[in-house]
Each structure stands twice: as C-alpha cells, then as structure tokens.
Amino acid sequence: MNETINREDLYLFQTGKARQAYLTFGCHYQKKTKTHRFTVWAPNAKSVSVVGDFNFWNPLAHPMKGDKDGIYTIEIEGLKKGDLYKYHVEGYDGICRYKSDPFAFYAECRPDTASKVWDFDDFKWSDKRFINQRKKRQALDQPMSIYELHLGTWRMPQEEEREFYNYREIADMLIPYLGEMGYTHVELMPITEYPYDLSWGYQVTGYYGVTSRYGTPEDFNYMINELHKAGISVILDWVPAHFPRDEHGLAMFDGTHIYDHEDPRKGSQPDWGTLLFNYGKPEVQSFLISSAMFFADVYHIDGIRIDAVSAMLYLDFGKQEGEYVPNEDGTNINYEAVDFLRNLNEALRTTHEGFLTIAEESTAYPKVTSDVDDPEGLGFVYKWNMGYMHDTLYYMELDPLYRKDNHGAIIFSMDYAYSENYILPYSHDEVVHGKGSMINKMYGAYDEKFASLRTLYGFTMAHPGKKLLFMGGEFAQFVEWRDKEQLDWFLIDQYEMHDSFHKYVAKLNEIYKSEPALYELDQDPAGFEWCLQRDADHSVVAFIRKNKKGRGRKQQQILCVCNFTPMEWDKYKVPLPKKSKLTKILDSSELDFGGDGDVSESKVSTKRVKVPSEGKKAVYQQV
C-alpha cells in the first residue's frame, strides 16, 4: 500500500464513508518535505504521471507510483502557487489522455482546462457568530426569502475588454442590493468549475474548484464572508446527478468508466448528452459527498440545492422503454441513488448544524424531506414545490374569464402543502427557452400584467412554504433571462411601473420577515385556515395565516384576500371565524406599487350578517 496515504483515509474512501477525501486526494503542499504531493484514483490505468508547465508537459518527467488499489501518488519539489498541471493517464484501453485533477481547488479559465497548484492562504474569516447561529436562523420556523442569481449576468462590466465582474466586485454590489430588497438568502447557480458557458454551470468538470471566470478561491472567500457579515445566508446549486463527456474531465478517466456505468443504458442521460454517476461505487459516493462537505467546511456555505434529483431517483428518467435497466425488483427506482442521497444528507446534518439541503425533485416521490431515521426518508430539509409553480403559472396565464373553470389550479396546492417541507420557487428554469418572463406570463395588457403579477407574488408570500425568486423577477423584466447579457436594470430608472413593482417586492419581503404568522407554521396545518376556498365564479380566495401559540404570547392572525380578476367586486363578503378589528398591512393596488389606489380603509368593514346559503350567522369581512 502507498504509505503516503493514511490507511484509515484510504479505507474510508474505498468504502464510501470518506467525508473529507479532499484532504487526501489532489495537490497538497507538504511542509516537512517542502514538496507538493499529488494523489489520484485511477484503478485501471496502466500508468499515470504529472505533467505541467514546470516539466514542459513531459509524461516521462514525473511518473507516479501506484498501489494495488489504483491510488497513484508522487511528491514534486520546486512548485509554486498557480503552476499549471494535469495527469497524463495511460488508460486500460491503451489510449493516453491528459486529465484535469478531479480534486483540483482551482483551474484555468475556459477554454483552457489545466488544473492549478493552489495552496489556500490563511483567509481571515469573521463569520464565526453567524455560523454558530445557523441552526436557529435556518430552522423551519424562520423566514426564508431566497434570491436566485447567475453571477455572470446579474451585472456585467460595460468595458469591452472585461467579460465578468470579480467575486469581490459582485459582493460589493450585491450585498447592499439584497439588504435593500429584504432577502434572507442568496442562491448561486453553479459555481463549481465548468467548461461550457451555456450549460450555466450544470455540466461540472471541477467538483472542488470555484470557477475561475469570476476570480480566485480567496476572492470567493471574500464574497461569502461579506455576505455573512451582512446577515445573508448562501446556498449553492450543486450537481451530483451527471457530468459532461469533455475529454479533460471525469469521463473515461483511466480508460474505463470509473465514475459512471459501462452499460450506456445505466450511464447515459440522452436528454442532456451527459453521463450519470454510478452511486453503487463507494469511491464515487466518497468523491461526491466530500465535494459537498468541502464547500461547507472550507467555504462556509450554508446550504446546497441539489439539481435534477428526479434524474437520480428514476432509472428511466428521460428514457424510453429499452433505454434503461430496471432494478432487481423490476421497478424504476435507483436504490443506489437513494442510498447516496441518504448518506449525503446524514453527513451534512451531523457535521454542520442547520445546514440546508434542498431537493429539486419534480415528481411525487415520497418522504423527500423525511429524516433518514425513517427507513424511507431521503433526509432533505426542503423540497422545491414544482407543482405549486406549474399550477399557479398555468392559472395566471389564462384569460380571467376562464379562470373560474380552472379554480382548482390556484387552491390545489393546499391539499398537499404539509406533505413535505416546501420552497415555492419561481426559478431560472421558468424564464428561459421561450417560456417568457414572469411579467409576460401574465394575461392582459400592460397595466393588467403588473396587477396580476403583484397579486401572484402577494399570494405566494402569504402561502405556506419558503420563497424563491430568480433575478429580474423582482422588477418585472419583460424579456426572458439572457445568458450572455446582464439584467435590464435601466427599467427601474426609466419606467415608473417597474420602479413601483420593485418597491412592492421589497415591501413584501419586509412584511414577510416582520410577521411570524407568515412563516412560523409553514409545516403545520394549524397555521392556515381557509375563509373562501371555492368561489370560482369570482376567482377570489381568502385565508388566514397564524403564528405559534405560546405562554404570554397572543396568537397573531393575518387575513389574505386575493382577487384573481381585473373586476372590482363591490361589497364582497369574506367569512371570518370571529368578529375582529382589521388593520390593513398591504394592498397591491396602492398607488406606490403601480396600482390605481381604489381600495381604501373606508371600504373595509367587519360586521355580523346572516348567510342564507348556510342558514347561520357568521362574521364577514366586507370589501
């Protein structure tokens, strides 16, 4: 066995239990010998060597020594931070390939693909208190309003010679904006290294390196630290479902399929042209779980959103009959992926208190957010509620005349709202590929579109579940997200309606965070009560949100009334559980938000009336 590697670390890696494999594999400076040690897993390779600008890319200069388990290692003198290197791998198939380091901490900017020798400097973090409060701050009974963004196109330099802003520059612009808008969390689309811009980061080749497009690892440290100092939690989009076929990446790393499956029915994802990880290999589990742990350990990330969980769970995802291999009991569930996800969530939960794991899972797979103590639970903290997103957008795209015939689309989400811990997402996926921007999805002319989107956002903010909105949606950008251009910020400065809408979203966040009734009981049916559920003819819904009861604490109740038509219903009556004094806290038709200001306090009253349809007395809110 190779004595440069701790026996226990090697055992953990080979049994799928390694949680910090990045400390063993990759390139590491050795203080005692003043060398850099390189370690790589290539079990079926005939030979492996380190090549780089320091040896003129000569495969004969620094051959690595391999053990019986295919762990190759070497120590090289005289290297410095930033030196370029790759592994020259003579594969089992006899083909020689130049491979990037799977555990590299940093790499060249595309189109170049070499890894870089990178020794982490002693960055001075100042977020200890923030990290220590993570468990309380990210508890299920706390507010969560997430701003999703793509770092490269949120804002872009106007100088022709610059493509992107640096992580530090982004931080200095982003943090005051998030504070102004009232967001609690920011979710970054993938920043792990990737070669193809138009994949948006979802085809990863470097699972341990932040992309060099926006700067260095130290620059990324700065951004995270500053966000934490400002009270903003950071979620990363993380992609353990599949990887690209790029020659320098994980594919055919040692001339065989060590990261994916040899059988293309198991190892290929035809919809994306990518390869699927083989979760049945313990080394692959160690590689991926250690990647997630790396970003929590080293970069102080507060959570990960796991992309394409359905593609992991289902063997036939995106495939036709005959294009996949059923499992041993003849069904389509990938039990190896289930095992991996449970192990991943358990590892993060037990080592980083309050750390969030969020599943983008588009089916009704059960118990996604049930704890791993449940033998069927996957262990995620939250799941994206894709059903809510699809139903509400479908409803809002309809001519209001026909919404009464589709009333179920706006109320159905409450039938399953407590089956999982949900996030209500209006994400990047909904504003690309011809789907239209959020504002353009709304039916009607200009003013009606804005009124409808204000209603939808207000409804969503009051609905049980945490919140997520993709950049541009907060000021009603009319064009879809363009992955080569920055957002249309000029709309806020030049068009009053966009400026007013921008203020409306900030006000929604302000109210949401200040009213515990809107978030404390998101996972408890006791926090929600329908007042009007089935008034399809008027396309109106009304419900009450409640906070937790407690000793010496009065229960707060917030009434939400949503009219999903442009019609004004004069003297409309809303049944309430008891007569109460009502104080208006938000009206989406206010002039400041771009509305017509037609609903005033004088038009709102509470009185006891007789309800003929029920034959009993009730308290009604009349508006």
**Residues annotated catalytic, as ranges:** 307, 360
Residues 572 and 360: their CA atoms lie apart, in Å, by 40
CA 412 to chain centre: 24
The secondary structure of residue 368, as a DSSP letter, is T
Using CB atoms within 10 Å of the CB of residue 446, give its burial: 0 to 12 exposed, 13 to 18 middle, 19+ buried: exposed
Question: From CA 576, how far away is CA 546, in angstroms rounded?
Answer: 13
How far apart CA 151 and CA 214 sit, in angstroms, is: 8
Report the sign of the C-alpha dihedral through residues 498, 500, 503, 507, in that order: negative
Query: Token match 């289930």: residue?
Result: 338
Q: How far apart are CA 72 and CA 41, in angstroms?
A: 6
Query: 427: burial class by Cβ within 10 Å (0-12, 13-18, 19+)?
Result: buried
228 and 131 Cβ atoms separated by less than 8 Å: yes
Transcribe 131-151 into DSSP letters. Answer: HHTHHHHTSTTS--EEEEE-H
State the residue for tokens 């030979």: 47
Neighbours of 617 (CB within 10 A): 10
Cα dist from 448 to 250, 344, 451, whole Å: 50, 46, 5
What are the phi and psi torsion angles at 131 (to 5°)? Answer: -65, -40
Residues of the chain by 3-state class (helix, strand, coil), percent to 5: 30, 20, 50
**Strand 528-535 vs strand 540-546: parallel, antiparallel, or unpaired?**
antiparallel
C-beta atoms surrounding 133 within 10 Å: 13
Are residues 547 and 527 in contact, defined by beta-carbon separation less than 8 angstroms?
A: yes
Q: Which three-class secondary structure string do you get for 450-471?
A: HHHHHHHHHHHHHCCCEEEEEC
Q: Specify the DSSP class assigned to residue 190.
A: P
Task: Please list the alpha-helical segments (H only) found in 279-407.
Answer: 282-297, 309-313, 335-351, 386-397, 400-403
Q: Are 518 and 558 in contact (CB under 8 A)?
A: yes
- Which residues share a beta bridge with 574? 621
Task: Give strand pairing partners of 550.
Answer: 553
Amino acid at 605: S
Q: In the chain, what's the furthest Cα-to-Cα distance?
A: 93
What the block records as the tokens of 476 is: 């009603």
Q: How far is CA 33 from the centre of its chain?
A: 42
The values of phi and psi at residue 116, to 5°, are: -120, 140
Label each residue of 391-455 as H, E or C.
HHHHHHHCCHHHHHHHCHHHHHHHHCCCCCCEEEEECHHHHCCCCCCHHHHCCCCHHHHHHHHHH
How far apart are alpha carbons 405 and 396 in whole angstroms? 13
